[in-house]
């Protein structure tokens, strides 16, 4: 199964993708995570992407499509893919069609997380993750049970993304509206888009996704 999770930054795509990974043994393909890893490793892709990401703008279509192609090549053909944060432009949507065809895969579902933008800014600027295991937290919605200690792995190191500040978040939202939201009709024409309320509780969103995938 191959699915796209679509929605503006902070809609909960990463959280839901992680749950699908745990429940269904699928693989999360997050171009944002891949780019952050490239920036951290100081690869040529990382060097090119760093400043663009810090401004909240989009990295080139060629770079991200190449990253996705490489990940699919490295994956077992039977493992389902969850595209998280890709495609983000019409050119990427076209590239994804070609990449999937080349790998003998087809797109089953596009799940759009419907959210209120103003609430998202608060959600994003409050978020942080465990530096060791990547578990996600939020100042307002989900603090560690014991202050300063990760619930999952016990680490006391946490980190925040440099692009999770209000100004950059506003740019990321504008990029979503201008370049990503317009790709929805491509998938609507194929009858594979399902909208769900991304402002619901995390568990309810997961349940809604499971219902769609079971259908
Ligand atoms: P994300 O983790 O998905 O919020 O992505 C973080 C940042 O990485 C974005 O604001 C972009 O600068 C860049 N990025 C991630 N995925 C893509 C993509 N598919 N196309 C272009 N830029 C991307």
Which residue's alpha carbon is at the smallest distance from atom 14 of ligand 1? 32
Over 26-81, what HEC string results? CEEEEHHHHHHHHHHHCCHHHHHHHHHHHHCCCCCHHHHHHHHHHHHHHCCCCCCE
Q: Does the CB atom of residue 127 touch ligand 1 within 6 A?
A: no
pLDDT for res 43: 97
Q: Provide the annotated active-site residues.
A: 13, 88, 127, 161, 172
pTM, full prediction: 0.93
Q: Return mean pLDDT, the chain.
A: 95
Reduced to 3 states (helix: H, G, I; strand: E, B; else coil), residue 100 is helix
pLDDT for res 117: 84
Report the separation in Å between the CA atom of 171 and the middle of ligand 1, taken as the mean of its atom positions: 12
Which residue's alpha carbon is at the smallest distance from atom 6 of ligand 1? 32
Residues of the chain with pLDDT under 70: none
For the record, the structure tokens of 95 come out as: 């590239």
pLDDT for res 119: 86
By C-alpha distance, which of 101, 89, 84, 105 is closest to 2? 105
Q: Does the CB atom of residue 173 touch ligand 1 within 6 A?
A: no
| pLDDT tens per residue, range 113-165 | 999 888 889 889 999 999 999 999 999 889 999 999 999 999 999 999 999 99
Report the separation in Å between the CA atom of 215 and the middle of ligand 1, taken as the mean of its atom positions: 30
Which residues make Cβ contacts (< 8 Å) with residue 207, sequence separation at least 6?
A: none
pLDDT for res 101: 97
């Amino acid at each position: 199964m191959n699915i796209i999770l679509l929605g503006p930054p902070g809609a909960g795509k990463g959280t839901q993708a992680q749950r699908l990974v745990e429940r269904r043994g699928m693989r999360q393909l997050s171009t944002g995570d891949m780019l952050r890893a490239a920036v951290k490793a100081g690869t040529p892709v990382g060097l090119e992407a760093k400043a663009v990401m810090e401004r909240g703008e989009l990295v080139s279509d060629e770079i991200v499509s190449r990253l996705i192609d490489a990940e699919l090549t490295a994956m077992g053909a039977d493992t389902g893919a969850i595209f998280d944060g890709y495609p983000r432009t019409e050119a990427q949507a076209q590239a994804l069609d070609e990449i999937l065809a080349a790998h003998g895969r087809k797109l089953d579902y596009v799940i759009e997380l419907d959210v209120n933008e103003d609430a998202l800014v608060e959600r994003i600027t409050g978020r942080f993750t465990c530096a060791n295991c990547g578990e996600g937290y939020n100042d307002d919605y989900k603090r560690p049970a014991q202050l300063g200690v990760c619930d999952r792995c016990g680490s006391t190191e946490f980190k925040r993304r440099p692009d999770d500040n209000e100004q950059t978040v506003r740019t990321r939202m504008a990029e979503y509206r201008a370049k990503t939201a317009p790709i929805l009709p491509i998938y609507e024409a194929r009858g594979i888009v399902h909208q769900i309320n991304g402002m619901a509780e995390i568990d309810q969103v997961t349940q809604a996704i499971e219902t769609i995938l079971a259908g």
